[in-house]
């Protein structure tokens, strides 16, 4: 399985499972009249919608570089992640306002055993989906799959909140506000997930400073070649998802010829391509 196939696999699997879960939870929500269960059901359906973007982004991002897009189409994955975040934020707003209205109207809900069973099943399935997405996202370094995993995780957490509320109402009666509060809590969980996904995507679009781990490993590998005679600094990472571009400066002995400096830069660029899977552009400066 390659990067694109992993994304398509995760997306299709999520679409199927979430569609079934939505139908069941929505039905239970209608029976009980619970805004929390309805919010939880639509949160699950939003997983299916976001997974459609995941599959579409995989196809668009796999297109090869062309004249108009010399760095490829990998950032379609980031665009898909932003769309997922916007969908989540919209759904969170809708259920937050609905829950506030119910709270103001003092509307109460009586949960049954069916609601309890379906909620438990939903938690188990959604957490399993989240773990699958996180694993594939890490393995293939794919932010869209990871974003979809967070979507599954927030759905699982919102179901946990609903489950706690259902259990409490089994032992304590007259908690008319429970369903409204659970709905608000689910909405806030959805907002948090949207924020995290948006933050990660925007950071990659704006540009990233290479993390210290990458910088340390790069210095170690260069030191193996030139015994630490090359001074590396001013690193910048340009993340196009399907490929990464690294620019850096190196300081060399000022008495070295242009040909010698070019040869050193070329060897370092080839090492970065082979070991770090990035295209590197190196600017040479005189030492001292």
pLDDT, residue 131, reads 93
Q: Give yes or no for residue 227 having a pLDDT over 70.
A: no
Write down the mean pLDDT value for the chain.
81
Domain residue spans in the chain? 3-206, 212-286
The SS3 call for residue 105 is coil
Residue 21 near residue 129 (C-beta atoms within 8 A):
no
| Mean pLDDT of all residues in 59-81 | 74
Superfamily of chain region 3-206: Cation efflux protein transmembrane domain (1.20.1510.10)
**Encoded tokens for 146:** 């990871």
Residue 145 near residue 54 (C-beta atoms within 8 A):
yes
Sheet of 279-286, strands arranged across: 231-239, 244-252, 279-286
Q: Domain 212-286 is in which class? A: alpha beta
Give CA 111 to chain center in angstroms: 33
DSSP code of residue 208: B
Residue 88 near residue 194 (C-beta atoms within 8 A):
yes
Residue 115 near residue 28 (C-beta atoms within 8 A):
yes
Rounded to an integer, what distance in angstroms lies between the CA atom of residue 87 and that of residue 89? 6
CA atoms within 13 A on the CB side of 238: 9
DSSP code of residue 211: P
DSSP code of residue 172: S
Tens digit of each residue's pLDDT (9 = 90 or more) over 112-166: 788 888 889 989 998 999 999 999 888 887 777 887 788 788 778 778 877 887 8
Helix (H) or strand (E) holding 167: helix 143-171
Residue partners of 67: CB distance under 8 A and separation at least 6: none
The SS3 call for residue 67 is coil
Tens digit of each residue's pLDDT (9 = 90 or more) over 174-226: 777 877 887 788 788 778 878 887 887 888 777 767 778 888 888 888 888 77
């Amino acid at each position: 399985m390659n990067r694109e196939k992993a994304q398509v696999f995760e997306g299709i699997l999520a679409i199927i499972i979430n569609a079934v879960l939505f139908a069941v939870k929505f039905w239970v929500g209608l029976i009980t009249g619970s805004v929390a269960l309805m919010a939880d059901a639509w949160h699950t359906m939003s997983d299916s919608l976001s997974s459609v973007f995941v599959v579409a982004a995989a196809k668009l991002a796999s297109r090869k570089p062309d004249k108009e897009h010399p760095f490829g189409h990998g950032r379609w994955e980031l665009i898909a992640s932003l769309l997922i975040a916007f969908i989540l934020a919209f759904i969170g707003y809708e259920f937050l306002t609905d829950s506030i209205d119910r709270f103001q109207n003092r509307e109460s809900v009586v949960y049954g055993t069916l609601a309890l069973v379906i909620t438990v099943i939903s938690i188990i399935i959604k957490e399993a989906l989240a773990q699958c997405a996180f694993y594939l996202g890490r393995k293939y370094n794919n932010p869209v799959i990871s974003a979809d995993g967070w979507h599954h995780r927030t759905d699982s957490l919102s179901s946990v909140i609903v489950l706690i509320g259902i259990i409490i109402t089994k032992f304590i009666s007259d908690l008319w506000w429970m369903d409204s509060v659970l709905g608000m809590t689910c909405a806030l969980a959805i907002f948090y997930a949207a924020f995290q996904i948006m933050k990660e995507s925007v950071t990659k679009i704006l540009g990233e400073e290479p993390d210290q781990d990458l910088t340390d490993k790069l210095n170690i590998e260069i030191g193996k070649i030139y015994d630490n005679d090359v001074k590396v600094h001013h690193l910048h990472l340009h993340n196009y998802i399907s490929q990464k571009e690294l620019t850096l400066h190196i300081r060399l002995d000022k008495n070295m010829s242009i040909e010698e400096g070019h040869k050193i830069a070329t060897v370092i660029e080839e090492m970065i391509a082979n070991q770090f899977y990035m295209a590197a552009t190196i600017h040479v400066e005189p030492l001292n």
